[in-house]
């Protein structure tokens, strides 16, 4: 019994001993957990303090922020700041402001266009010319290591920007004055973060009462720009009294809905038609032949009392007047001479703008044809330089071009992509698939040919469909061939006179590809062929406007149409 009692007592002592060991282990475990928690807390505090109070992104070189976007990494050349003048390279201005900026060798100047301004600045004199008016500056263009730099801080009026140089943070900001800007007041001291993540570096600090530019608000976080030019994020609750400094400036459209234009052409020697007392159903734009370049290349007005009455008639009927400017009399060589000279282009532009203002016109239709292929880029320069001058006065610029599949002086003389990009409207003169000088008889404007070329406009030339006006013909040609199938003549026939020309016994055949009626008959020993333009053929062409979401239609020309055509066009383009 005594032995069993001793065994029991030993077991109890061992249990007590094990309990003490367990307690020690638990104590050590608790201490480890406690230390780990303390370490984590310290790390969190350290990260928070570093994250909250240390500004990490000190700029080593000048940063550029345009319209609240830091584009420094996209700059091709560094910003130069000398004597408080900020210089930006021509290449970077091309990327961010004017992709058509141009170095004019004739005058040793840089020509730049932006919105409603065209400006020239040289490499010697401290002067800039903006829309024909001279302005003194504190700097001029310069070349450094073969790179052209422009004093953009002296060109704020050209690019319509507000520029600020934050020397302490090495940030230059540029804000377009035609874009919306909102500001807000900071309600309490806060650090501005580089991202919306929980752990993010501090880019700047703002204090209660500071004003920031509010770029955007999303998921409770506001993207702001500080007075130092720094972009970052803060809690949206830290901003109060958000107000709009300026609204987006939007250009008003002259024409609501689709353009329905008709050319009202009469030669340089004819009198303008008297339209008083008449209306043209559905038309909202008329393009009378008011201006042309004469044989000497001089801009010539063809506006007298009758033309003034025409303008009044058009406006009384709520038609916009986009006067035509033609180079048909000037011809290829004279037109080339003008295009190759900046001073002559400038003079022509000045005359066009002044005449539009003088006669209260609404726009211009440039109808230059028969030009040299090698002048293609210079013709584009003319359009580039004309557009801002017209826009300044609220005038519309439409430019006529041919199909991109013809000869050098007829088709290859146009850069349709640039013209379509710059002008308000590019007018595809979708006719004369087979023209007056063709050695083969054929349609004036086949549906399949127009559709193919529209695809080129949209896909190859990459022109915005909302800028393309489709030009349609109110005429066809009567082709005459002899017994050997040789063309011995062709004659233009107005749509309204087609029934007078086609014999009653001639059989019309519908061509589904061309979407036209074709007629063929004998006149003595000669064969006559006509691809007829009528309501059905024009309706098929106009269907391409809706199909491709084009800007509208232009018809060549008034007084060649049949009486029922206007109602059809109005219905089809609604």
For residue range 416-437, list pLDDT tens digits in order.
Answer: 999 999 999 999 999 999 999 9
For residue 461, give the DSSP letter: S
Q: Residues 157, 189: contact at Cβ < 8 Å?
A: no
Q: What is the mean pLDDT of residues 169-181?
A: 96
> Residue 14's pLDDT band (boundaries 50, 70, 90)?
low
Please give the Cα distance from 13 to 10 (Å, whole number).
5
Alpha carbon of residue 305 to chain centroid:
38
Banded pLDDT at 10 (limits 50, 70, 90): low
pLDDT above 70: residue 4: no
Instruction: Provide the strand spans (E) within 274-409.
Output: 285-288, 291-293, 299-301, 320-326, 363-367, 396-401
Give the pLDDT confidence of 134-143 residue by residue, as tens digits. Answer: 999 999 999 9
- In this predicted structure, the answer to whether residue 11 has a pLDDT above a threshold of 90 is no
pLDDT score recorded for residue 269: 82
Mean pLDDT (whole number) for 236-241: 94
Residue found by looking up tokens 């140089």 in the block: 165
Lowest mean pLDDT among 3-7, 66-70, 274-278, 327-331: 3-7
Q: Higher confidence at residue 219 or residue 88?
A: 88
Q: What is the pLDDT of residue 37?
A: 79
**pLDDT, tens digit (0-9, with 9 covering 90-100), for 149-167:** 999 999 999 999 999 999 9
Question: Over 60: is that where the pLDDT of 363 sits?
Answer: yes
Q: 342-358 vs 331-339: helix axis angle to the nearest 10?
A: 100
193: confidence class by pLDDT, cuts 50, 70, 90: very high
| DSSP conformation class of 436 | T
Report residue 67 CA to chain centroid gap: 18
Which class for 343: exposed (0-12), middle (13-18), buried (19 or more C-beta within 10 A)?
A: exposed
CB contact at 8 A, 249 and 178:
yes
What distances in angstroms separate CA 303 from CA 319, 327, 331, one per listed residue? 18, 17, 22
Residues of the chain with CATH 3.30.457.10: 63-163
Do the bridges between strand 285-288 and strand 299-301 make them parallel or antiparallel, or are there none, so unpaired? unpaired
- Assess if CATH 3.30.457.10 describes domain 63-163: yes
DSSP class per residue in 215-269: EEEETTEEEEE-TTS-EEEEEGGGEEEEEEEEPPP-PPPSSSSSEEEEEE---TT
pLDDT per position as a tens digit, 40-87: 676 655 555 555 555 555 788 999 999 999 999 999 999 999 999 999
Average pLDDT over residues 103-119: 95
**332 burial type by CB count under 10 A (0-12 exposed, 13-18 middle, 19+ buried):** middle
Q: In this predicted structure, what is the pLDDT of residue 18? A: 53
**How far apart, in whole angstroms, are the C-alpha atoms of residue 403 and residue 414?**
10
Q: Where in the chain is the domain with CATH 2.30.30.40?
A: 180-246
Quick one: what percent of the chain has pLDDT higher than 70?
93
| Interatomic CA distance for residues 426 and 383, integer angstroms | 11
Check whether domain 180-246 has CATH 3.40.50.300, yes or no: no
Tokens of 378: 């210079």
Q: How far apart are CA 553 and CA 574, in angstroms?
A: 11
Question: How, if at all, do strands 552-556 and 468-473 pair?
Answer: parallel
Longest Cα pair distance anywhere in the chain, in angstroms?
Answer: 153
> How confident is the model over 208-233, as a mean pLDDT?
96
Confidence of residue 7 (pLDDT cuts 50, 70, 90): very low
Q: What is the mean pLDDT of residues 544-568?
A: 98
CA distance 14 to 77: 83
- Cα–chain center distance at 110: 22
Higher local confidence (pLDDT), 15 or 19? 19
Q: What is the pLDDT of residues 473-514, one digit of tens each?
A: 999 999 999 988 899 999 999 999 999 999 999 999 999 999
| Mean pLDDT of the residues in the chain | 93
What's the pLDDT score for residue 55? 54
């Amino acid at each position: 019994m005594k032995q069993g009692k001793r065994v029991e007592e030993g077991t109890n002592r061992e249990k007590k001993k094990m309990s003490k060991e367990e307690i020690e282990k638990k104590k050590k475990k608790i201490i480890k957990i406690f230390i780990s928690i303390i370490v984590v807390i310290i790390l969190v505090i350290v990260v928070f303090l570093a994250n909250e109070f240390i500004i990490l992104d000190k700029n080593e070189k000048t940063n550029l922020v345009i319209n609240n976007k830091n584009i420094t990494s996209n700059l091709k050349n560094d910003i130069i700041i000398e004597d408080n003048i900020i210089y930006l390279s021509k290449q970077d201005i091309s990327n961010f402001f004017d992709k058509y900026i141009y170095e004019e060798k004739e005058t040793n100047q840089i020509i730049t266009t932006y919105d409603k301004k065209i400006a020239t600045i040289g490499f010697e004199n401290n002067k800039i010319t903006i829309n024909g008016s001279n302005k003194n500056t504190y700097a001029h263009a310069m070349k450094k290591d073969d790179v052209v730099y422009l004093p953009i801080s002296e060109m704020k009026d050209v690019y319509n920007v507000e520029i600020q140089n934050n020397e302490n943070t090495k940030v230059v900001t540029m804000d377009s004055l035609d874009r919306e800007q909102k500001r807000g007041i900071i309600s309490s001291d806060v650090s501005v973060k580089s991202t919306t993540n929980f752990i993010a570096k501090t880019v700047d600090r703002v204090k209660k009462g500071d004003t920031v530019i509010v770029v955007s608000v999303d998921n409770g976080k506001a993207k702001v720009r500080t007075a130092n030019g720094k972009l970052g994020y803060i809690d949206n609750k830290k901003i109060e009294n958000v107000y709009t400094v300026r609204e987006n400036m939007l250009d008003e459209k002259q024409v609501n809905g689709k353009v329905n234009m008709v050319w009202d052409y009469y030669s340089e020697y004819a009198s303008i038609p008297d339209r008083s007392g008449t209306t043209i159903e559905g038309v909202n734009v008329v393009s009378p032949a008011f201006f042309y370049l004469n044989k000497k290349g001089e801009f010539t007005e063809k506006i007298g009392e009758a033309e003034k009455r025409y303008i009044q008639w058009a406006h009384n009927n709520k038609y916009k007047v986009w006067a035509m400017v033609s180079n048909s009399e000037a011809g290829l060589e004279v037109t080339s001479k003008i295009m190759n000279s900046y001073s002559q282009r400038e003079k022509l532009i000045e005359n066009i703008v002044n005449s539009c203002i003088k006669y209260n016109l609404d726009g211009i239709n440039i109808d230059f044809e028969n030009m040299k292929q090698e002048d293609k880029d210079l013709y584009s320069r003319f359009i580039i330089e004309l557009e801002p001058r017209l826009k300044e006065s609220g005038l519309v610029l439409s430019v006529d071009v041919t199909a991109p599949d013809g000869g050098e002086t007829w088709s290859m003389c146009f850069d349709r992509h640039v013209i379509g990009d710059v002008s308000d409207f590019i007018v595809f003169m979708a006719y004369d698939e087979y023209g007056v000088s063709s050695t083969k008889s054929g349609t004036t404007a086949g549906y399949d040919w127009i559709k193919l070329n529209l695809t080129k406009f949209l896909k190859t030339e990459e022109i915005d469909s909302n800028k393309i006006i489709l030009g349609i013909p109110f005429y066809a040609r009567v082709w005459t061939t002899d017994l050997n199938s040789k063309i011995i003549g062709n004659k233009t026939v107005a749509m309204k006179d087609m029934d007078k020309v086609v014999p009653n016994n001639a059989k019309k055949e519908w061509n589904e590809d061309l979407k036209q009626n074709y007629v063929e008959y004998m006149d003595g020993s000669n064969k006559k062929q006509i691809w007829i333009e009528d309501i059905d053929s024009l309706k098929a062409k106009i269907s391409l406007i809706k199909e491709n979401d084009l800007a509208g239609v232009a018809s060549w020309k008034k007084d060649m149409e049949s009486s029922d055509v206007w109602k059809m066009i109005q219905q089809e383009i609604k």
